[in-house]
Structure 1
Amino acid sequence: MGEFPPDTRLALRTATSADLEDIATVAQEGFPDDPEFNYRFPYREKYPDDNRKWILQEYREYLEQPDKYEVIIITASDNDDKAVALSVWDISISKAHRGSDLGIPDNPEEQCRRRDANPIHFRKFKDRMNEAFELYFSEYGTDQIHLWLLATRPAFRRRGAGTRLCRWGLERASQNSICTTVLASPMGKCLYEELSFTDCGSFDIQVEGEAEKLQLWAMTHPKTDSVAAVVQVEYSSIISPYQRTIHISMASTPQATDGRTGSKTRQRQKTHSTTTTDTSQSSTASYSLDKYLNKANDRSPLTRYLSDFEDIPITERLSQSDQQTGRFHITDGYPRGGQ
């Protein structure tokens, strides 16, 4: 988390039907290097028109069901404010998907209507994904939001788009005190681990008698009872005005609940201290909070927490009088008055 610097050229919003063509382009460019896509659509380069036609149909169906799906996209100003990354979230697990068979009938005796796909692999993938969802996530019932699809155009990767899309879902889940679930591909697994998803187990997708197979992972992010953690920062005079200690404590959300067991995790608190000595005889008013933050280990919980916010450094948002007070309460990344 916080791995990517803020990119002001990117913006997150809900997709509309007007974005359909751009979303299809993201899917066509963003998924092919994922093993899942190669497994199901090995003939897409031979039949690119077929591939785009059915991708358009798939995302049209998502957009036409806003009561079940949220299609969230990232746009980029250096791409004419068009979509460069996409995510599809199932926000209403209990509602059935309303859509077509995307050109591959469930009955293998029926004729396929698309040429870019391997129909045997397509059906096996669909069946195993449904089975895995039931196996790993059915116990959560409607207390979950599920990430079905996540992709970024290759030219726009490493700019934090995928992370921002995931955080949208995590925030929504947190607001409703529900879990976040995903069936992760090898490409997505590392990202989800960085976002504190838990690996619940892996499963294979393989047609009997074939050597080719896919491995995917069922992953969950536990539900929490509040959206944001609260960070407290304070520093006080120790020994003399020229030797100060900063105490940094990070409190987790008040009640974190494990969606699988229903147990509640006790609030944990870690404190990191570092002492610095200023040999100059300048006024104590010249001390600023960022001086001490810079002395802290850059892997501390506070530094990681603050790095998640795409805003100006927190020390620039603190007034001089607040800095002299020496105590701050920071919620959702914004300072509140000391008490």
Structure 2
Amino acid sequence: MVGSAGGIAFSPRTTRQIRKGVPSDVDAVTNVMIQAMPGDPQWNWRFPYRPQYPKDHIQFTKLLVGIFLDPKYDDWHVMVSEVSGIGIVSFSVWNVSCLTKRKHGPGDIAQDPAAKVEELGGNKRRDAHHARCKAFREQQIRASKKFFEQPVLHLQILGTLREHRRQGHGKSLCKWGMNLVREEGLEGMSVMASPMGRELYTSLHFRRVGNIHIQVGDENGVHLEAMMYRVVEEASECGLDRVPSH
């Protein structure tokens, strides 16, 4: 065995594949989400009762992942990082509605997986703080309209198993999105970053465009940073007139 990162040793034959997620990945992606997301403060803030109700947490997380992976929900796209001999260790969820509107026309109604989960029983899940979840969704919508130019690709979720962090999985998934932005001639790529993700996004030429504070009543809330990757800015920093779109 040679090479080691984060306590994991890889053989020379170990390979990593970045690929599109498919419905049969639902269990693997759900597992990564449940293990990885508690490192993000907003997850703990929205789902504070998951230790008391683990079955609810698994059930509705899997339901959400299944919707993201469903081909009928073409406003959403899941990419995974898969390691040979191990399986899926990292995933990303992308809002690609800016591209589906090109296909279906400007009157296309955006798909809302979170609302679908609520409709299918999520409004009664016991692991969640429902007022916080509602405030989180509403503030994300407002922040998107306020801070992000359109059309942009939006990174909704990025998660990596703890033992596989700092091995390039998150960066590879982000670069997939950055390449898609250039290929499709989009303005850029947006993310609402937690403190845990800010270092990665900054290293990839994302810039902070705003602050987002979400709270319910007088209690402590959570803080996110609205960040943008712009093709024109990266081209300027690299001394190029323009990064090719194809």
TM-score, normalised relative to structure 2:
0.81
How far apart in 2 are the matches of 1:40 and 1:149? Answer: 15
The yes-or-no answer on 1:115 pairing with 2:123 is no
Q: Which runs of 4+ in 1 moved over 4 A?
A: 102-105
Assess, with a 3 A threshold, how the Cα gap between structure 1 residues 209 and 18 changes in structure 2: closer, same or farther.
same
Residue among 221, 231, 250 paired with 2:229: 221
Q: Relative CO higher for 1 or 2, CA cutoff 8 Å, sep ≥ 6? A: 2
Residue pair 1:26, 1:152 contacting (<8 A) in 2 also: yes
Could you tell me which residue of structure 2 aligns to residue 274 of structure 1? none
The yes-or-no answer on 1:176 pairing with 2:162 is no
Could you tell me which residue of structure 2 aligns to residue 91 of structure 1? 96
Residue among 10, 18, 27 paired with 2:16: 10
Once the 2 structures are TM-superposed, how far is the Cα of residue 76 of structure 1 from its aligned partner? 1.1
Could you tell me which residue of structure 1 aligns to residue 241 of structure 2? 254
Larger Rg computed on CA atoms:
1
Once the 2 structures are TM-superposed, how far is the Cα of residue 153 of structure 1 from its aligned partner? 0.8
How far apart in 2 are the matches of 1:49 and 1:89? Answer: 26
Residue among 117, 129, 139 paired with 2:140: 129
How far apart in 2 are the matches of 1:128 and 1:17? Answer: 30
Q: Which amino acid aligns with 2:115?
A: D
Once the 2 structures are TM-superposed, how far is the Cα of residue 204 of structure 1 from its aligned partner? 0.3
Could you tell me which residue of structure 2 aligns to residue 236 of structure 1? none
The yes-or-no answer on 1:148 pairing with 2:135 is no
How far apart in 2 are the matches of 1:111 and 1:157? Answer: 30
How far apart in 2 are the matches of 1:111 and 1:221? Answer: 33
Q: Report SS of the residue matched to 1:221.
A: strand
Residue pair 1:89, 1:146 contacting (<8 A) in 2 also: yes
Once the 2 structures are TM-superposed, how far is the Cα of residue 66 of structure 1 from its aligned partner? 5.0
Superposed CA deviations along residues 214-256 of structure 1, whole A, max 9, x for unmatched, are 110111111249xx98xxxxxxxxxxxxxxxxxxxx9633326
Once the 2 structures are TM-superposed, how far is the Cα of residue 111 of structure 1 from its aligned partner? 9.5
- Give the gaps of 5 or more residues in structure 2: 102-108
Residue pair 1:222, 1:256 contacting (<8 A) in 2 also: no
Assess, with a 3 A threshold, how the Cα gap between structure 1 residues 99 and 221 changes in structure 2: closer, same or farther.
closer
Residue pair 1:44, 1:117 contacting (<8 A) in 2 also: yes
The yes-or-no answer on 1:162 pairing with 2:176 is no
Assess, with a 3 A threshold, how the Cα gap between structure 1 residues 18 and 122 changes in structure 2: closer, same or farther.
same
Aligned residues: 221
How far apart in 2 are the matches of 1:11 and 1:63? Answer: 18
Could you tell me which residue of structure 1 aligns to residue 31 of structure 2? 25
How far apart in 1 are the matches of 2:65 and 2:91? Answer: 11
Superposed CA deviations along residues 79-122 of structure 1, whole A, max 9, x for unmatched, are 1xx211010111123551144636557xxxx9931011011111
How far apart in 2 are the matches of 1:13 and 1:66? Answer: 18
- Give the gaps of 5 or more residues in structure 1: 230-249, 258-339
Q: Report SS of the residue matched to 2:49.
A: coil
Could you tell me which residue of structure 2 aligns to residue 37 of structure 1? 43
Q: Report SS of the residue matched to 1:31.
A: helix
Q: Report SS of the residue matched to 1:252.
A: coil
Could you tell me which residue of structure 2 aligns to residue 305 of structure 1? none
Aligned-CA RMSD value: 2.7
In the TM superposition, what are the counterparts of 1:256-295 in structure 2 within 5 Å?
none
Once the 2 structures are TM-superposed, how far is the Cα of residue 169 of structure 1 from its aligned partner? 0.2
Once the 2 structures are TM-superposed, how far is the Cα of residue 191 of structure 1 from its aligned partner? 0.7
Assess, with a 3 A threshold, how the Cα gap between structure 1 residues 49 and 254 changes in structure 2: closer, same or farther.
same
Identity over aligned pairs, percent? 29
How far apart in 1 are the matches of 2:53 and 2:210? Answer: 35
Residue pair 2:182, 2:243 contacting (<8 A) in 1 also: no
How far apart in 2 are the matches of 1:18 and 1:134? Answer: 34
